[in-house]
Amino acid sequence: MSGAGNRVHGLAGDSDMAEPDWPPLNAGELVPLLARYPALGALRAIVWHSPRPLSAAALVDCAGGRVFVKRHHRSVRDAASLGEEHAFAAWLRTHGMPIPPLHRDCDGQETVALGDWVYVVQEPAAGLDLYRDTRSWLPLTRPAHASCVGATLARLHAAATGFVAPQRSTHVLVARSELIEAADPVAALAAQLPARPGLARFLAARDWRRELTVTLAPFHARLQPALVCQPRAWTHGDFYASNLFWSTAGDAAQVTAVVDFGLCARTFALFDLATAIERSAIAWLQAGEDRARNAIALALVAGYRSLRPLGAQDLAVLADLLPLVHVDFALSEVEYFDAITRNRANAELAWSAFLHGHARWFTTPHGRAMLDALRAA
């Protein structure tokens, strides 16, 4: 499914760049796409290809200005599933969040399906894309930026109040939380598998019930009762510096735009905050146990608390949640790699290093120290 062109962020290694899962956007497909947007005018140039691996995206100059174009394969997203995330982003935009608007085509649609592909054309985000080339598993180095990430996430959660919609219609590449919320996650996953045949085929070759039970056991029994009380709400699901635009590069930087709602789902606020910490404060690409960036985690929490209160019980739940916050999404990556892109090596990596490896790290002295720091915040 990949093609020649730009390299993208791989899953292994600090500097690893890999072949993309999907061919990069090209002029041959953009010309008929942009013809559906008369106000944009003719294609002038593709000025930048995104290095993100799970879709194809680019900044494109047209006669009428610059736009951001994103393309999904229909096996990953269709118009309906994209509409779910667009509705949430639109709600946030009308409630004060700086989110770039979408362009509508000549039929008034926010998505365009052409062949096997589904396209979205969006206004470019305002501000500086400081972290666009930074790998997802590299932590922030500036506590001031971490604090700003936390405060912006708190603003987003406040803006999300009142948004009501059913859960996402897909599990693929979505940050859901049903499994870790379940009293018996193994039974809950088994119940999902008839509707997720690609994931079922991958799991059939291994003793997944035992493996998952072993990984969840140190954390889940303590966490699950507290999750029953968490107010459910739609959340971003992938909130970290690379999905934000910034006013400057220095410590005084403020967030000027929030982008990429592809992982959003109906979860709860502490789930989103824990995800932000996992993305921002742990050096997953570093060898060895000493991956914790506690100052970054604490700065992120402090920024969040500057706008939304978190009591001692909230911090305890946040710490208990952090080792398992990635579980549902990791399984969605297994499903994506094995059933859609047919990349068994990446599927195995998502199963072993991501799902199980991230959770196991929190049983190490450094992992436990991070959780203790959060509880003491």
> What is the homologous superfamily of the domain 143-375 according to CATH?
Aminoglycoside phosphotransferase (APH), C-terminal lobe (3.90.1200.10)
Question: How many angstroms separate the most distant Cα atoms in the chain?
Answer: 59
d(CA 205, CA 34): 45
> CA 21, 343, 357: angle at the middle one, nearest 5?
105
Q: Per residue of the chain (377 residues), give pLDDT as tens.
A: 434 456 556 565 445 666 778 999 999 999 999 999 999 999 999 999 999 888 899 999 999 999 999 999 999 999 999 999 999 999 999 999 999 999 999 999 999 999 999 999 999 999 999 999 888 789 999 999 999 999 999 999 999 999 999 999 999 999 999 999 999 999 999 999 999 999 999 999 999 999 999 999 999 999 999 999 999 999 999 999 999 999 999 999 999 999 999 999 999 999 999 999 999 999 999 989 999 999 999 999 999 999 999 999 999 999 999 999 999 999 999 999 999 999 999 999 999 999 999 999 999 999 999 999 999 99
Size of the chain in residues: 377
Instruction: Give this prediction's pTM.
Output: 0.95
Q: Which residues of 218-229 are buried (b: 16+ CB within 10 A; e: fewer)?
A: ebbeebbebbee
d(CA 14, CA 137): 9
**DSSP-assigned states of every residue in 191-212:** HHGGG-HHHHHHHHTTTHHHHH
User: Among residues 77, 97, 76, 79, which one has the least CA distance to residue 88?
Assistant: 97
* Residue entry with tokens 């996992």: 278
d(CA 16, CA 18): 6
Domain boundaries, the chain: 8-122, 143-375
pLDDT at 136: 78
Distance set, CA 105 to CA 40, 46, 119, 264 (Å): 10, 20, 11, 24
CATH number for 8-122: choose from 2.60.120.460, 3.30.200.20, 2.60.40.10, 1.10.3660.10: 3.30.200.20
Neighbouring residues of 90: CB distance < 8 A, sequence distance ≥ 6: none
